[in-house]
Amino acid sequence: MADRLREMKIFSGSAHPEFAQRVSENLRVPLSSAKVSRFSDGEVSVSIEESVRGADVYVIQPTCPPVNENLMELLILIDALKRASAYQINVVMPYFGYARQDRKTRSREPITAKLVANLLEKAGANRVISADLHAGQIQGFFDIPVDHLMAIPLMASYCHKTLKEELKEGKVAVAAPDIGGVVRARRFALQINADLAIVDKRRSYEVANYCEVLEIIGDVRGKTVVMIDDMIDTAGTVSKASEALIKRGAEKVYVCATHGILSGPA
């Protein structure tokens, strides 16, 4: 019972203060005060401006671009809260930077997603809350609880409203932009009762953010295609996949993605 009565505090890093403010307003819990600044050489300086002793603390800091800056700031925030005797430190990072480096694709490569998990735990995190991880198995990199939130129900609800007539006529197909996204696309297709298509692509491991579409698996002729993915970075994958789907007879192509990174040529 005592744990339930612990004071809840919400802190925001500098990655997305607007999101933190909206969370604060929805929960009707005011944002707590933390000063985040930079030394002249770029080092991050954090000062927690109020007591967190014995509190249930939530730190909102997605590791979106600039990834390294925001990740380092998050680690320092966690460390500051731990040293200030916070009872529980819950890290809210909707976008988990380095999630694409979840395995070795060639010899002598790192598994950086695991390294990030280790850093978060070592800094003092007790729980991580993230949304649509690039690879679900990242949850297993942690020895602390991970809440993996999925955007599929929200996207499905939106499609039910905007593609109502097409769905009634059976003229909607859901496309996975690559083989790795098949499970996500299948779940989404079941939610909106649509057919499934798969874009088979080959990614270059020599050139970052480059891929080549090889084949479309499934019938998309005369259909509105909803392509679903966890993120759009440079948009190279979805652009080439969309072109391939149109060439195969798709009438329209919509893209639903949880994380709009939109870097570089995007």
* For the chain, domain boundaries: 8-149, 151-260
**pLDDT above 80 for 4:** no
Domain at 151-260, CATH from 3.30.230.10, 3.30.565.10, 3.40.50.2020, 3.30.2350.10: 3.40.50.2020
Task: Give the tens place of pLDDT for each residue, 32-50.
Answer: 999 999 999 999 999 999 9
In angstroms, the first-to-last Cα distance of the chain is: 50
Question: pLDDT (tens digit, 9 = 90+) per residue, 164-178?
Answer: 999 999 999 999 998
Return all residues near 168 (Cβ < 8 A) that are at least 6 apart: none
- What value does the mean pLDDT take over residues 243-254? 96
Hey, which residues does 63 pair with through a beta bridge?
Answer: none
- CATH topology of 8-149 equal to that of 151-260? yes
Residue pair 257/242 in contact (Cβ under 8 Å)? The answer is no
What's the average model confidence in pLDDT over 10-26?
98
CATH number for region 8-149: 3.40.50.2020
Interval 10-27 mean pLDDT: 98
CA angle 239, 241, 218 (to 5 degrees): 160
- Mean pLDDT computed over every residue of the chain: 94
Instruction: Give the closest residue to 251 by CA, choosing from 211, 206, 220, 230.
Output: 220
Q: Which pLDDT value is given to residue 1?
A: 45
Point out the residues that are catalytic: 201
DSSP state string for the chain: -TGGGSPEEEEE-SS-HHHHHHHHHHHT-PBPPEEEEE-TTS-EEEEE-S--TT-EEEEE----SSHHHHHHHHHHHHHHHHHTT-SEEEEE-SS-TTTT-SS-SSTT---HHHHHHHHHHHHT-SEEEEES-SSGGGGGG-SS-EEEE--HHHHHHHHHHHTHHHHHTT-EEEEESSGGGHHHHHHHHHHHT-EEEEEEEEE-SSSTT-EEEEEEES--TT-EEEEEEEEESSSHHHHHHHHHHHHTT-SEEEEEEEEE---TT-
CA atoms within 13 A of residue 2's CA, in its CB half-sphere: 2
Residue 205: per-residue pLDDT = 58
Would you state the pLDDT for residue 20? 98
| Average pLDDT value for residue range 143-153 | 98
Q: What is the pLDDT of residues 176-220, one digit of tens each?
A: 998 889 999 999 999 999 999 999 876 655 556 556 767 899 999
Strand-pair category, 56-60 with 172-176: unpaired
For the segment 139-158, the average pLDDT, to the nearest whole number, is 98
Predicted confidence band of residue 242 (pLDDT cuts 50, 70, 90): very high
Residue with the two structure tokens 């671009």: 65
Cα distance between residue 36 and residue 16, in whole Å: 13
| pTM of the entire predicted model | 0.90
